């Protein structure tokens, strides 16, 4: 990647924004300048970028002139407001919120799975939900080989998925319980310490949560295959970092567990960690800070003809957010797609 760019990270003071800056530096993204933006209350603060610090600038509608690429992690409302102005200024947006994921004008991209979807971008590219990203990275090679008909997924999602406030709530509640105090619930409706909540995001009319339906709709869009059926149960667990998923798939063609291990061991972004006899399986506590999506407990579902079970773990702040966004930015550079053909698409 020889082209040098001016890059912005929007929402730079948050946990994911900071990780985005760290990832850009670690991967030596070809930027001549990196700028950090956040809300007015954070303007003037400093955030680390390699061995130096960046001064955070206030996010406004007119700040994107001269910026080639902006990676957003500022929440859906901020993205809805500011992303169109960025694209209008000729700045390509990679957005980490849910604001644009199901918009037909915006590709929903996991580079290991569907980088070619970037070719038709119109200025805003959506980063999928963290739980969807790690699942499709692991399932795409199997889908290509044997056509997945149905996915049943149960997630075990870390509190960092709720942001810094989720991390602080778990820390505070653990301290309170150890010191004989009744823990206060501020972020979650019930205590998260030493508990599991089968409730992430709001409940919808069909009694699924919004998080569960994100996994359904996003998987279909990323695979570009409406025939794939997905059903999900999403659970918040008292773990700081890394989401885990129990995934069952039914395929049109038979895949043995052995063949699945071979396919996945050769798949980009996947690391197979699977040896039951040696008690080898992925765990959130051992995957923090890792870029790979880890897959283990691969075994055939003995209740159906063509079924597999597996256990998938990935760092939700890394691959589930910051890394995937930076990989999208890298793919845009590699494909020479850092440009906005029609600057008015999102200004209607």
Measure the CA–CA gap between 202 and 275, rounded to whole angstroms.
38
What are the two backbone dihedrals, phi and then psi, of residue 48, each rounded to the nearest 5 degrees?
-75, 145
Catalytic residue among 88, 91, 121, 130: 130
Measure the CA–CA gap between 212 and 234, rounded to whole angstroms.
6
CA-based nearest residue to 261, from 134, 145, 109: 145
Catalytic residue among 143, 234, 243, 287: 243
**Cα 231 to Cα 127, 208, 223, 267, distances in angstroms:** 21, 9, 15, 24
Return the sign of the alpha-carbon dihedral for residues 144, 117, 73, 19. positive
Cβ atoms of residues 230 and 216 within 8 Å: yes
In the residue annotation, 243 being an active-site residue is answered as yes
Cβ atoms of residues 54 and 33 within 8 Å: no
Active site residues: 130, 243
């Amino acid at each position: 990647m020889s082209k040098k760019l001016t890059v912005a990270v929007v929402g730079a003071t948050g946990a994911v924004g900071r990780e985005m800056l760290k990832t850009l530096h670690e991967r030596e993204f070809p930027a001549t300048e990196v700028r950090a933006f956040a809300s007015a209350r954070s303007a003037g603060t400093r955030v680390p970028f390699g061995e130096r610090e960046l001064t955070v600038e206030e996010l406004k509608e007119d700040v994107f002139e001269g910026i080639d690429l902006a990676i957003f992690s500022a929440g859906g409302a901020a993205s809805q407001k500011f992303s169109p102005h960025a694209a209008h200024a000729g700045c390509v947006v990679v957005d980490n919120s849910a604001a644009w994921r199901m918009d037909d004008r915006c590709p929903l991209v996991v580079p290991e799975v569907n980088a070619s979807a970037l070719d038709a971008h119109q200025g805003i590219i959506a980063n999928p939900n963290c739980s969807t990203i790690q699942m499709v990275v692991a399932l795409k090679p199997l889908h290509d080989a044997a056509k997945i008909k149905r996915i049943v997924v149960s997630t075990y999602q870390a509190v960092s998925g709720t942001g810094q406030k989720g991390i602080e709530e778990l820390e505070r509640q653990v301290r309170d319980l150890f010191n004989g105090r009744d823990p206060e619930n501020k972020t979650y409706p019930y205590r998260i310490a030493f508990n599991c909540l089968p409730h992430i995001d709001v409940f919808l009319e069909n009694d699924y949560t919004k998080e569960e339906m994100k996994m359904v709709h996003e998987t279909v869009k990323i695979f570009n295959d409406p025939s794939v059926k997905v059903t999900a149960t999403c659970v918040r667990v008292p773990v700081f970092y890394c989401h885990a998923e129990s995934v069952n798939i039914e395929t049109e063609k038979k895949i043995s567990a052995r063949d699945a291990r071979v396919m996945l061991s050769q798949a980009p972004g996947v690391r197979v960690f699977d040896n039951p006899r040696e008690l080898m399986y992925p765990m959130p506590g051992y995957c923090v800070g890792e870029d790979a999506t880890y897959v283990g407990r691969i075994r055939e579902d003995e209740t159906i003809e063509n079924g597999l079970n597996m256990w998938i773990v990935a760092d939700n702040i890394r691959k589930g957010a910051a890394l995937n966004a930076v990989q999208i930015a890298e793919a845009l550079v590699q494909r020479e797609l850092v440009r906005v053909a029609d600057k008015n698409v999102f200004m209607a």
